[in-house]
Structure 1
Amino acid sequence: MADSRLNIPPFAQSCLQVTGNVWFAAQTHPFVQALADGSLPVENFRFYQMQDARYLEAFTDACSIISARCVQPDDKLWFIDAAKLALVVERQLHTEYGKQLGYDATDIAQLTLTPNNLAYQNHMLVTCHRGALLEAIAVLTPCPWLYTELGQRLQTQLGSPSDDHPYVNWLRTYADDGFVAYTNTLLAYLEAAAQESGEQTRQRAQQAFLTSVRYEWMFWQQAWTMQPWPV
């Protein structure tokens, strides 16, 4: 059985400290609490799932950019596989919910991104193109790390969800030991890049990480409010 524990290296710990209470706020957003206890209205979950499917396309692009910047073939391959994970494994989750909630790939492709989603994608992709390798890895680390920690915490607090929980597949996906192993490897890559970087680069990476955590909170918020464009 895979190790179910998250291993947090020193630089990741420093990133977490920079976030202050933002990390906790993202972990405990009302959307998350309602999703966990099953009271989240289905229309909010549908809104979230469709926006998330489009976000994962940008996450895949970010992983592909990082792969191209890696020197060692094994490192390139891991980030290629990470891109594939976002498209294949998590897309399967979206596809299954799409059958239940009444949307398909065409609906997702035609979706108007929320302001929060669009801003998060731009932040991630611009950082991957323009920042140092450490900044590029740091900008995408909060998403899988936060989801993995959330999945583990909810499982500890609530136990394994019952088969009749409306969001059981979502809860099981992010509590899975394989997802923990994936996140641990990403954190190890973050640490290796930090060890090869100067202090200014490390500080920029910490800020990129913090901004992504803020966007994670905002991603829950845009689904909680079903955010429209104001004009």
Structure 2
Amino acid sequence: AAEPLFEAIIAHPFLTGLADGTLPEGSFGYFLIQDGHYLRDYARSLAFIAGYAHDPAEASVFLGAASRAVAAEQGMHGELLAQCGITAAEAAATPFSPSGELYARTVLSRAAEGPFADGVAAVIGCLWIYREVGNVLVERGSPDPRYQRWIDSYSGESYGAAVEVALDVVDRIGRDSTPAERDRLKEIFVDTCRLEWMFWDAAWRRESWPVGRA
């Protein structure tokens, strides 16, 4: 169900520009800022999901993902922002974009309200899409070392293995769910994949609030 959305994402000019080096630096810097905002809420979402897990092993999958999200925001993002000439203070002062805030709040709401399966369906799209994007773009490479650094982080073995473990949880949930439950979970998953496309598109356009936000 998400394949057409993934094809639309990988064909988006933000990602094709990331690979061929034509992406404007301003768009990449904007993306890093917004992704940092998003990752903070995403880490909270993952922690909520871990709290709903009945299996300690499954809880650890999402606690580990939360830890990696925080590490990415504090590590790679900070380094790449500096290479784009953006200070931590400037990033913190930049408002969350409309699309980014919608995405983060949608996922966080699903994760906080539960149940476990609904939260997993809401967060898995981001994990899966970033892995697939990384795997596609690493084959193309990028002439810009900053863009290549970002690509490498999501195409590496450690990230791929972590996503595979999360997908194993998805498979287990699917086996234990009724057809009606699977349909509901699929709808949640597809909705968040649409929001993922909107997030990339917002970065390309450097989306801002039309009124009411500084």
Task: Decide: shared fold, TM above 0.5.
Answer: yes
Match for residue 83 of structure 1 among 52, 63, 66: 66
Task: Give 1:117 shift.
Answer: 0.3
Aligned counterparts of 1:111 and 1:204: Cα–Cα separation in 2? 35
Superposition pairs for residues 7-46 of structure 1, below 5 Å? 18-19=1-2, 21-46=4-29
Q: CA RMSD in A?
A: 1.7
Instruction: Indicate if the aligned counterparts of 1:27 and 1:146 stay in contact, CA closer than 8 A.
Output: no
Compute the TM-score of the two structures, normalised by the length of structure 2: 0.92
1:93-117: CA deviations, max 9, x gaps? Answer: 1010121123333333322111100
**1:157-196 superposed Cα distances (whole Å, 9 cap, x missing partner):** x2x556x534121111111011110111111011112222
Where relative contact order (Cα < 8 A, 6+ residues apart) is larger, the structure is 1
Partner secondary structure for residue 21 of structure 1: helix
Which sections of structure 2, spanning at least 5 residues, go unmatched?
A: none
Return the alpha-carbon distance in structure 1 between the equivalents of residues 62 and 200 of structure 2.
Answer: 26
Per-residue CA shift, 1:42-66, capped at 9, x if unaligned? 0110000000001001110111001
Residues 194 and 202 of structure 1 are in contact (CA less than 8 Å); yes or no, is this contact kept in structure 2?
yes
CA distance in 1, matches of 2:53, 2:182: 18
Structure 1 runs not aligned, ≥5 long: 1-17
Q: Which amino acid aligns with 2:91?
A: I
- Normalised TM-score (structure 1): 0.85
**Number of residue equivalences:** 211
Measure how far apart 1:209 and its partner are: 0.7
More helix by share: 2
What letter is aligned with 1:189?
V
The structure 2 residue matched to 1:176, chosen from 120, 133, 156, is: 156
Following superposition, the deviation at residue 141 of structure 1 comes to: 0.8
Question: For residue 21 of structure 2, what is the amino acid of its counterpart?
Answer: G
Moved more, 48-57 or 21-30: 21-30
How far apart are the structure 2 equivalents of 1:98 and 1:155?
21
- Contact 1:66/1:79 (8 A) holds in 2: yes
Contact residue 107 and residue 123 of structure 2 kept, 8 A? yes
Share of identical aligned residues, percent?
Answer: 28
Deviations 1:189-212 (A, max 9, x none): 111122222222211111111111
The AA in structure 2 aligned to 1:203 is: D
